[in-house]
Amino acid sequence: MKSPSAPKSKYRRVILKLGGESLRGKREHGISPETCDAIAKELKEVRALGVQLAIVIGGGNIFRGAAGTKRGLDHVTGDYMGMLATIINALALQDALEKNGVPTRVQSAIEMRAVAEPFIRRRAMRHLEKGRVVIFAAGTGSPYFSTDTTAALRASEIGAEVLLKATKVDGVYTADPKKDRKAKRYERLTYMDALKGRLQVMDSTAFSFCMENKIPIIVFNLFKHGNIARVLRGEKIGTLVS
């Protein structure tokens, strides 16, 4: 897997946060197997950099608690439904990765032993040391949180050096780059900038958790080929929040 001449990753262990929407492709909802396959191929390439990769997967392409609450669903029930959605996504991503020859384990924060291991921190770290990609599903297992906060939490728990927040744009901008052509990308931000600016890219619980536990966040565009590898090699793409 690791060729001696391949440029190395700047990081030993990372958490990649993939929003559920990133699996949707061009569909309105749900999962695009082609998109999962494309992401899996990208991830397969970065393993050659010798990095230990754990993924926290979201559920927004299937269900978000907030969407249910708006229509009168009980908040906590909606959040559990959202967490179950992340398990569906985790299985889709696992399937795509394994079809591409990448060994994986799914660990779920809500026990579902027929399809995933329960989340066990030490076992997750052992999988990573053995070169397996670990996919964390079901968020924190508790309602009222997001999978961004889960990514921050798991990063701390397993000793990841950085949280890679994959998005559809090149980083954090002064305005929405899809609406405002003058919008400029920030190369660096402090956690405080992110919190005060109420940046849409992650919720404030996730940002403050990263701040307290000194986990740098790199916000970058997942949909540019080779970007994950660039981030891992330490190239200055996206926006660094530290």
9 binds ligand UDP (CB under 6 A): no
| CB of 104 or CB of 146, closer to ligand UDP | 146
Please give the backbone phi and psi of residue 11, each rounded to the nearest 5 degrees, phi first: -115, 150
Distance CA 36, CA 93 (A): 6
Size of the site for ligand UDP (CB under 6 A): 24
- The contacts of residue 72 (CB under 8 Å, 6+ apart) are none
Instruction: Give least dist CB 223 to ligand UDP, A.
Output: 15
139 binds ligand UDP (CB under 6 A): yes
Distance CA 71, CA 67 (A): 7
Asked if residue 217 lies in contact with residue 242, where contact means CB atoms within 8 angstroms, the answer is yes
- Interface mask toward ligand UDP for 179-218; x: CB under 6 A: ----------------------------------------
Strands (E), the chain: 13-18, 52-57, 104-108, 117-118, 133-137, 162-167, 188-189, 217-221, 239-241
Asked if residue 89 lies in contact with residue 118, where contact means CB atoms within 8 angstroms, the answer is no
59 binds ligand UDP (CB under 6 A): yes
Q: Which of 49, 52, 55, 82 binds ligand UDP (CB under 6 A)?
A: 82
171 binds ligand UDP (CB under 6 A): no
Q: Which of 9, 108, 146, 167 binds ligand UDP (CB under 6 A)?
A: 146
User: Applying CB under 6 A, which residues contact ligand UDP?
Assistant: 19-21, 58-60, 64-66, 78-79, 82-83, 85-86, 139-140, 142-143, 145-148, 150
